[in-house]
Amino acid sequence: MNTLMNIDPWGLLDELFNTGSRTFRTVKARVAGRFPPVNVLLDDNAVIIDLELPGKTAKDVELSLEPQAVTIADKPAIPEGEAKPAAEMRPAWSRRLELPFRVDADKANAKFANGILRIELPKADAPAVRKIAIAG
Amino acid sequence: MNNEEKFTVPSATLVEKPAEYELRAEVPGIGKEDAELHMEGKTLTLKTHAKYQNPAGFKVAAQEFERVNYSMSVDLPDMADPSALSAKLENGILTVVVKKRPETQAKKIDIL
């Protein structure tokens, strides 16, 4: 028996997200590395994500937005001149948050203030129902 | 802040350099205007009084950190000169630099 093999570090986190609070379930996180802590605030028209990143600025973080998810990752500093091995260029942490609704990428905004990154993602307008003509 | 009377001790490091000491404390969410530094004898005290409130109408869906105020007291080493002190707060990091007293610094002695 190898007990070590049975330890799933993300299991506990999943448990936290899956039990108790219903709101936890709506924002499901997928994580890698040692990530900064996040707070998520919701209302009917927007989601606000705060990350605690003391000492970091805009150039240290990379954000990518999908229609219904956002990925926040560390941006490794590129050393001047020398080529670094690929492994060192990988982000030290990255985290993907699934959102409870589709967001409008054009109206999204992110800003650092005193070591806290705030990402504001307004809800996208409901997609119009599209009728599809049947050929033939 | 939800509770203004609640203070957290920030995560901090004190580094000794040849001519000075550098104290670095993580105080995310705190701006220059919210922090107070006091020097009494050899004791350096930090206290912050930021007032944070979640945007109106928003519900907390996940909370992994708290918006807190910070409080910390550090006794500076004997070699530090409390009158030669400078501090800055940038991106949620407080850096305090205290010079060593000149008479305590290592001198190079020429061998004749």
List A83's β-bridge partners, or say none: none
B63 in contact with A, Cβ within 8 Å: yes
For residue A102, what is the domain's CATH number?
Answer: 2.60.40.790
Beta carbons of B93 and A43 less than 8 Å apart: no
* Interface ipTM: 0.83
A100: containing domain = 29-78+85-122
Please give the share of chain B, as a percent, with pLDDT higher than 90: 73
* pLDDT attached to residue A23: 47
Q: What is the mean pLDDT of residues B88-108?
A: 90
* pLDDT attached to residue A10: 57
Beta carbons of B91 and A23 less than 8 Å apart: no
From the list A119, A113, A111, A105, the residue with the least C-alpha distance to A72 is A119
Cβ atoms within 10 Å, residue B26: 17
- Domains held by chain A: number: 1
Token pair for B48? 């912050």
Beta carbons of B59 and A43 less than 8 Å apart: yes
Q: What is the mean pLDDT of residues A126-136?
A: 79
- Which tens digit of pLDDT belongs to each residue from A15-57? 555 544 444 444 544 455 578 999 999 999 999 999 999 999 9
Q: Name every residue in A having a CB less than 8 A away from some CB of B.
A: 23-24, 26-27, 29, 37-43, 46-48, 50, 52-57, 100, 112-116
Of B31, B62, B91, the CB nearest to A39: B62
* pLDDT attached to residue B38: 93
Token pair for A44? 């009917």
- Which tens digit of pLDDT belongs to each residue from B17-56? 989 999 999 999 999 999 999 999 889 999 999 999 999 9
Q: Identify the structural domains of chain B with CATH numbers, from first to last.
A: 7-104 (2.60.40.790)
Element (H, E) at B60: strand B59-63
B62 in contact with A, Cβ within 8 Å: yes
* pLDDT attached to residue B5: 67
A9 has a pLDDT exceeding 60 = no
Alpha-carbon distance of A57 to A114, in angstroms, equals: 9
SS (H, E, C) chain A: CCHHHHCCHHHHHHHHHHCCCHHHHHCCEEEEECCCCEEEEECCCEEEEEEECCCCCHHHEEEEEECCEEEEEECCCCCCCCCCCHHHHCCCEEEEEECCCCECHHHCEEEEECCEEEEEEEECCCCCCCCCCCCC
In a domain, A55, yes or no: yes
In a domain, A48, yes or no: yes
Q: What is the mean pLDDT of residues B51-72?
A: 94
Which spans in B10-108 are helix H? none
In a domain, A71, yes or no: yes
| pTM exceeding the 0.80 threshold for the entire prediction | no
pLDDT tier for residue A135 given thresholds of 50, 70 and 90: confident
- Calculate how close chain B gets to A2, using CA atoms only, in Å: 32
B91 contacts in chain A (CB < 8 Å) = 54-57, 112, 114-115
A23, A114, A118, A123, best to mutate vs chain B, most B CBs in 10 Å: A114
Please give the share of chain B, as a percent, with pLDDT higher than 70: 96
B69 contacts in chain A (CB < 8 Å) = none
B residues 3-32 near A, CB within 8 Å? Answer: 26-31
pLDDT tier for residue B82 given thresholds of 50, 70 and 90: confident
Alpha-carbon distance of A72 to B27, in angstroms, equals: 21
* pLDDT attached to residue B83: 87
Q: What is the mean pLDDT of residues A74-89?
A: 70
In a domain, A21, yes or no: no
B28 contacts in chain A (CB < 8 Å) = 52-54, 114-116
In a domain, A20, yes or no: no
In a domain, A40, yes or no: yes
Residue of A nearest to B30 (CA): A114
* pLDDT attached to residue A22: 45
* pLDDT attached to residue A27: 52
pLDDT tier for residue A85 given thresholds of 50, 70 and 90: low
Q: Report the DSSP pairing between strands B7-8 and B69-75.
A: parallel
**Average per-residue pLDDT in chain A?**
79
B31 contacts in chain A (CB < 8 Å) = 113-114
- Which tens digit of pLDDT belongs to each residue from A109-129? 999 999 999 999 999 887 667
pLDDT tier for residue A86 given thresholds of 50, 70 and 90: low
In a domain, A94, yes or no: yes
In a domain, A36, yes or no: yes
* pLDDT attached to residue A133: 87
List B102's β-bridge partners, or say none: none
